Every structure is written in C-alpha cells, then in structure tokens.
Amino acid sequence: MAAVEVRGLTREYRRGEGGVVRALDGVTLSVQAGEFVSLVGRAGSGKTTLLHVLGLLVRPTSGQVLLDGVDAGALTDGQRARLRGRRVGFVLRDGNLLPTLTVLENVLLPLRYDRVWTGRAARSRARDLLDVVGLGDRLRHRPDQLTAGQCQRAAIARAMARAPGVVLADEPTGEVDSETSDELLYLMQQLNRMSDVTFLVATQDEEVASCMDRVVRIGDGRLVGDRRARPAEGSPRELGAGGGVRWT
C-alpha cells in the first residue's frame, strides 16, 4: 500500500491584488511504504509546497491526498492534525530545534502528545533514539552547543520519536558540509532500512539525490521525472544497531 499518494494535485497562492501563483500543477505521485525517495528540483520548483501538502500542513486547492490510504480531504482540521502527529515526522533544513530546550527535551516534545509513549517509556525511547543517531553523550546540550550536523541528527531523532510511517525531510543537508551531508544521508538510509519508515527527502543537490533508491524530479510545480536509482555503496561511518529502540 502507498504510504503517501496525491492525485491531480494543485496548490495556488494569492499574490497581491488578483494575482495567483500555482505552486503545484496537476501532480500525481505515489510513494510506497518503506521507500527511500528524493524529490529533486531547484528553489521555487514546488518541493516544499508538495511536502507541506503530503504532510497535511496545508490543504491543496484541488486534487486528492491519501496518507496510509486515508483520504485527508474528508477529514476535519483536528482529524488531520491527529493523523499527521501519528504518521508523519518532519526534518527541516535548519533542524528547527527549540533553542531553550536540551537535545533530550527536544526529542521528547512529540511524545508529550502520545498516549503510548509516556513517563519513563518516553524518556527511554528518546534516549535510545539519540544513541542511534550518535548523540547519546549530548543529552543535556542545547542547540547552540551543537554543530549544524548534530542539530540535524537531533531533528532526525525527533522525527522518528512517534514511530511514524513517513518522514518528510526538506533540504536536511542544506546547511552542512559534504562530509556531514554524507553522514546524515547514511543515517537516514539506515533508519529507513532498520525501521521500514518511508523517507521522502527534498533537495537541490544532485549528489544527495543520487544516494536515494528513487529520484523524483519537480519543476515549475509539475513532476518532470521519476526513475529508480542505484544507491551509493559504502558509508562514511558505521551506525550502531539501535539497542532497545522499538520502531513500531
């Protein structure tokens, strides 16, 4: 079954008096459960808008959005928020960690709204995830005490906190050097393999895109390419087995 799917999707924004910008124009896309997919295109191509629609952050102007087979268009705003919280994790370009909270507290945030992960279980899960992403010794650090790459690692751990079905990552390597980019990509690849969580990674970087199993291209709000890719072999560093992390 498709993890996320859109059919005939359009999204328009109003600009000034009477002006309309069509950010997405008739997009149809299906991403299967467990895929590791890049969404590649230049700035302004519609990548971020598509992620926002897929992640149920905004409603499309027209077309259908399905998340785990559920037609999101038929849901109320509250139902959409609950489905998004359970099934979607987000990683943004700059990590978007709350600066006044520690790394551990940032990863715990999504679990505050989850009835499954409470109290000690929530803290244990957050610690396990931070061990997996290589930040087990940075639990009490705040974002300004971390490197850009470490912030992204924490953001990835937070995205995985509620065992989502899909992680949507918007330019997650855009603020780091090439070596750190390789490490983050390998980390996401291993989490994808270990957990069977679907990853859809938006990027402008062709090298980043080439590391994915599938490359979807977008230009001027339309899909202009979709092909299987051969993932890059090897890895910049080894990833631990994850200890007691329960992925689902």
CA 158, CA 229: separation in Å to the nearest integer? 28
pLDDT in tens, 27-44: 999 999 999 999 999 999
Q: Is residue 180 part of a domain?
A: yes
Q: How is residue 148 written in tokens?
A: 């850009």
Domains: count for the chain: 1
CB 169 within 8 Å of CB 201: yes
Q: How far apart are the first and last CA of the chain?
A: 17
Q: Is residue 22 part of a domain?
A: no
> How many helices and strands in the chain, by DSSP H and E?
7, 10
CA 212, CA 173: separation in Å to the nearest integer? 14
* Cβ atoms within 10 Å, residue 223: 21
Q: How is residue 174 written in tokens?
A: 């855009």
Q: Is residue 155 part of a domain?
A: yes
* Residue 230 DSSP SS3: coil
Q: Is 220 exposed, middle or buried (0-12, 13-18, 19+ CB in 10 A)?
A: middle
Quote the domain boundaries for residue 212.
35-56+78-228
* Cβ atoms within 10 Å, residue 204: 14
User: What Cα–Cα distance (Å) separates residue 41 from each residue in 2, 72, 217, 223, 228?
Assistant: 23, 26, 6, 10, 16
Q: What is the CATH number of the domain that holds 154?
A: 3.40.50.300
Q: Is residue 242 part of a domain?
A: no
Q: Is residue 234 part of a domain?
A: no
Per-residue pLDDT of the chain (248 residues), as tens digits, is 799 999 999 999 888 777 888 999 999 999 999 999 999 999 999 999 999 999 999 999 999 999 999 999 999 999 999 999 999 999 998 889 999 999 999 999 999 877 777 788 999 999 999 999 999 999 999 999 999 999 999 999 999 999 999 999 999 998 899 999 999 999 999 999 988 899 999 999 998 998 899 999 999 999 999 998 755 454 333 333 344 454 44
pTM: 0.89
Q: How is residue 53 written in tokens?
A: 């629609």
Q: Is residue 157 part of a domain?
A: yes
Q: Write down the H helix ranges in 61-170.
A: 77-87, 103-108, 119-132, 148-159
Q: Is residue 86 part of a domain?
A: yes
CA 18, CA 46: separation in Å to the nearest integer? 21
User: What Cα–Cα distance (Å) separates residue 245 from each residue in 36, 41, 236?
Assistant: 20, 34, 23
Question: What are the φ/ψ torsions at residue 90 (nearest 5 degrees)?
Answer: -120, 140
Q: Is residue 29 part of a domain?
A: no
* Cβ atoms within 10 Å, residue 237: 10
CA 25, CA 14: separation in Å to the nearest integer? 15
